[in-house]
Chains A and B, each alone.
Chain A
Amino acid sequence: MWRWVHKYGSPPVFYRISGRLLPWLWGLFAILLGWGLYGALISSPPDYQQGESVRIVYIHVPAAWNSMFIYVAMAVSGLIALVWRIKVAEIVLIASAPIGAMFTFLALVTGSLWGKPMWGAWWVWDARLTSELILLFLYLGVIALHGAIEDRRTAARAVSILALVGVVNIPIIHFSVEWWNTLHQPATITKFEKPSMHIDMLVPLLVMALAFKLFYVNTLLMRARGELLERERDVKWVKELAS
Chain B
Amino acid sequence: MAEYFEMGGYGFYVWTSYGIALVAMLATVWGARQRHRRQLARVVRRQKREQAGKR
Residues of A within 8 A of B (CB): 41, 46, 51-53, 55-56, 59-60, 63, 98-99, 102, 105-106, 109-110, 113-114, 116-117, 215, 218-219, 222-223, 225-227, 229-230, 233, 238-239, 241-243
Contacts and interface: CB of A to CB of B under 8 A. Distances in A.
Contact of A53 (B10, B24, B31): B10
Interface of B: 7-10, 13-14, 16-18, 20-21, 24-25, 27-29, 31-33, 35-40, 42-44, 46-47, 51
A110 B19 CA distance: 10
A51 B11 CA distance: 11
Contact of B42 (A99, A106, A233, A243): A233
A53 B7 contact: yes
B54 to A, nearest CB: 12
A51 B35 contact: no
Given A51-B10, A105-B24, A219 B32 contact: yes
What is the interface of chain A mostly: helix, strand, loop, or mixed? helix
Contacts of B18: 41, 59
Most chain A beta carbons < 10 A, residue from B8, B42, B43: B43
Contacts, number: 97
Contacts of B7: 52-53, 55
A17 to B, nearest CB: 15
Given A215-B25, A226-B38, A242-B47, A46 B20 contact: no
Given A222-B29, A243-B47, A106 B24 contact: yes
Given A52-B9, A53-B14, A222-B33, 11 more contacts: A52-B14, A53-B13, A56-B13, A60-B17, A99-B28, A102-B28, A223-B36, A227-B35, A229-B40, A241-B43, A242-B46
Contacts of B51: 243
Contacts of B35: 222-223, 226-227
A109 B20 contact: yes
Contacts of B42: 229-230, 233
B24 A226 contact: no
6 contacts: A102-B27, A113-B17, A113-B20, A222-B33, A233-B43, A243-B51
Given A59-B17, A109-B20, A113-B17, A229 B10 contact: no
Nearest to B13: A113
B21 A222 contact: no
A229 B39 contact: yes
B14 A55 contact: yes
Most chain A beta carbons < 10 A, residue from B10, B16, B25: B10
